[in-house]
Amino acid sequence: MVFGEIPIERLPGVRELGSILAKYYEQKLLAEVKGRGNIPRHVAIILDGNRRFARERNIDESRGYELGAKKLEEVLEWCQELGIKHVTVYAFSNENFRRSPKEVKVLMNLFVKKFRDAAVDERVHKFKIRLRAFGDLSRLPKKVRAAIKLAEQATWDYNGYSLNIAIGYSGRAELAHAVRKICERIERGDLEPRQVNERVIQDHLYTADLPDPDLIIRTSGEERLSGFLLWQAAYSELYFCEANWPSFSKIDFLRAISNYQARERRYGR
């Protein structure tokens, strides 16, 4: 839109007014979400759109991933504000290993830095956030595995919140891993085939001690799970957001929670 020959967004005070109105709407939405109750216990997020974000802004893709990692820190604060106890994020899939060696190296170096930082982060220790990673960690470089171990050991006995990072992860591979473990128990005589039921399978998943996600959010406009938590997502509510991950705003987040609150979860009934 233009005002005379000047784009309206360049008029004095327009951006400031827009920021004020956005902040007002955000606070109003936050109050509504808190007032309704019915806050999900466990939110899972597919962090999609880092590369698209970088390309749209003509910045290096590595910078896009750095901003995506920073966004996760913000989202964790928003979850704490609402009392969401468990957050699980899809950070790196098995299929992502097929990307260029340069891009994979950038991501691995970022994982090393972020896990090391998390191990000594005052916020992590103040709020008793338990950190852990799951997936086929054997495929990760040694330095990444060491950084993960450092963060996990530093937060092992915390029970305030949990942040779970799916890295080198595939939902199908997770199920295959669970089946192998069950078969090994049957072979040892610890378990009878007739005893294998949903509970037994659940107990052999990476997420055995976590509740299933109530809400799964995917950013960047894609509308699929891409193999994320295939078993656990059986009755999860799904929410797809157009924003690329680094530009995912608190308003986007609150809209996802509000949308969840408006749904009636039937669990097949």
**3-class secondary-structure state, position 205:** coil
The whole-angstrom separation of Cα 230 and Cα 263 is 21
**Are 246 and 64 spatial neighbours (Cβ–Cβ below 8 Å)?**
yes
| Nearest alpha carbon to residue 32 among 192, 264, 261 | 261
Which phi and psi angles does 216 have, rounded to 5°? -115, 125
Any residues with CB less than 8 A from the CB of 244 and at least 6 apart, and which?
Answer: 48, 49, 50, 52, 53, 56, 219, 220
Catalytic residue among 58, 60, 94, 96: 96
Catalytic residue among 48, 121, 164, 214: 48
The whole-angstrom separation of Cα 88 and Cα 103 is 23
The whole-angstrom separation of Cα 115 and Cα 82 is 24
**3-class secondary-structure state, position 77:** helix
Go through 184-197 and write b for each residue having 16 or more CB atoms within 10 A of its CB, e for each that does not.
Answer: ebeeeeeeeeeebe
Count of H-run helices and E-run strands, the chain: 9, 8
Q: Which two tokens stand for residue 203?
A: 């107990």
Indicate if 48 belongs to the active site: yes
> Which residues are part of the catalytic machinery?
48, 96
